[in-house]
Amino acid sequence: MTIDSTTDFSPLVREGGVHSAVYTDDTVFAAELERIFYRDWVYLAHESEIPEPGDYCTKWIGNQKVIVVRDSDGEVHGFFNRCRHRGTALCNLESGNAKFFQCPYHGWSYNTRGKLVGVPYPSRYGADFKKNELGLAPLPRFDAYRGFIFASLSGEAPELLAHLGRTTEYIDLFLSGSPTEQIELSAGVSKSLFRGNWKFVGMDGYHVNFVHKTVLDLEEQRFRGDDYVRGMRNSDKSPNESWDLGGGHSRLNLSLTDRVEIGRVSTTAVAGEIPDTDGGRSYFQAMIDRWGTREKAQEVINLSRDVHLHIWPNLQLIGSQVRVIRPLSAGMTEVIGYPAMLAGVPPEINEKRLRAYEWFNGVAGFGGPDDTEIFERNQIGLECDNEPWLVLTRGMSDAQSGVGGTVVGNVTDEVPQRAQLRRWLEDMQPAGTR
């Protein structure tokens, strides 16, 4: 396929179907970088990654590396990771603390506000050299919602809240598991690569009972004789739901069959049980103090502990995880997982969350590697494109209209996949027609 700024991608998507080139074609991928990752709002970092003045981290927007830094006054900035002299990347480390960023090539130095403060041997520059005009280039759009930092490389992007739409109520829900309604990405990070397309990493309630057989086997052993029904959460008989939230955002609602009580948990793939210990009871009391009643505290814990939310294009909040999707090519993706620790809770609560994250989502866990393998098999299969159209019609005729223009289906329906493709096609329209 030959692509230029006028290329129309609409022939690659039809109602209930998508052409395999959307996932395999390198020129399609190049257009995705330009039209999605360099125009939309993209998730960068969480404010807890840079808690102190001078703290910084480096992140990626497509192929462009950027710096997120907290200055000496506590204000957070986003800059392109590029010296204004010869274009050298300033920061090679993923995180650190610095008073200045010095270019390793010729020593130009910038403070944490991006101002150029040092140029070696300045006598060789002429009178027209204006140091105050050569600070680090700021990201065109830079904003945050409740600690989640986003950026857009397009000055024409809408306001962040307009982009987030209905996802804000589920971000709020994700945070509500803490009595202070805050999280901290302080427990490290896990990274994995898979040989497949970035759009595979989505909200898919249909695959669980097949791809994650080992998880189901272990759950069955643990809960046998305890009213456990194998695979019930992810079947066509389940009351659980898949949602199109609009704007390419989607979610799975798994709370309808998932309840937690002190000392008991109904599944091992969520954000950790509440132990029947002093710490567990202390946490529950803190939640009662925050929400007013035992019943409300129980409801908030149940709903917050297994949020499954996809924020277009690259952020997912799942259980006790903040997951970031980084596309590298049409057939290569990096997945970066941050265990989300709750602020203001006893240490053993966060230990349970961390163990739950490791158990399922860690690179050596029981769930994440399953997904990696199936994504790679998917990519291999898509190269056999004699019959290139993929079928995404599951639940299409039965989907219901929900509140505020949402679309709701059974948890196994392909509501999220169709939501993703609608936004993909919208974003991929030629410049001037979007």
pLDDT: is 398 or 147 the higher one? 147
Domain boundaries, the chain: 44-156, 166-427
- pLDDT score for 269: 37
pLDDT of 262 higher than 60 = no
Interval 279-302 mean pLDDT: 93
Question: What would be the CATH architecture of the domain defined by 166-427?
Answer: Alpha-Beta Complex (3.90)
pLDDT in tens, 398-432: 988 888 889 999 999 999 999 999 999 999 998 66
Convert the pLDDT of each residue in 18-57 to its tens digit. 999 999 999 999 999 999 999 999 999 999 999 999 999 9
d(CA 27, CA 21): 9
Q: Count Cβ neighbours within 10 Å for each residue of 3-31 and write b for 16 or more, e otherwise.
A: beeeeebeebbeebebbbbbbbbeebbeb
- Predicted pLDDT at 87: 98
Confidence of residue 264 (pLDDT cuts 50, 70, 90): very low
CA 117 → CA 20, 72, 120, 129, distances in Å? Answer: 51, 15, 10, 13
**266: pLDDT strictly greater than 60:** no
Banded model confidence at residue 268, pLDDT cuts 50, 70, 90? very low
* CATH architecture of the domain with residue range 44-156: 3-layer Sandwich (2.102)
pTM check: above 0.85: yes
Q: Which residues pair with 57 in a beta bridge?
A: 68, 95
pLDDT exceeds 50 at position 290: yes
What percentage of the chain carries pLDDT values higher than 90? 81
pLDDT tens profile 52-101:
999 999 999 999 999 999 999 999 999 999 999 999 999 999 999 999 99
Residues 378 and 368: their CA atoms lie apart, in Å, by 15
CA 330 to chain CA centroid, Å, is 19
Helices and strands (H and E) in the chain: how many: 11, 26
With a pLDDT cut of 70, the percent of the chain lying above it is 93
Residue 333 has pLDDT above 50, yes or no: yes
What pLDDT does residue 111 have? 98
Asked whether residue 434 carries a pLDDT value surpassing 70, the answer given is no
Q: pLDDT tens-digit profile of 102-140?
A: 999 999 999 999 999 999 999 999 999 999 999 999 999
pLDDT of residue 202: 84
Average of pLDDT values for 239-252? 96
Each residue's pLDDT tens digit, 182-216: 999 999 999 999 999 999 998 999 999 999 999 99
Q: What is the pLDDT of residue 381?
A: 98
- Backbone φ and ψ for 101, nearest 5 degrees, come out as -110, 120
Q: Is 16 left (phi over 0), alpha (psi -120 to 50) or beta?
A: left
Q: pLDDT category, 270, cuts 50, 70, 90?
A: very low
Residue 261 reports pLDDT greater than 80: no
Q: How confident is the model at residue 409, as a pLDDT?
A: 96
Nearest to 394 by CA among 410, 414, 411: 414
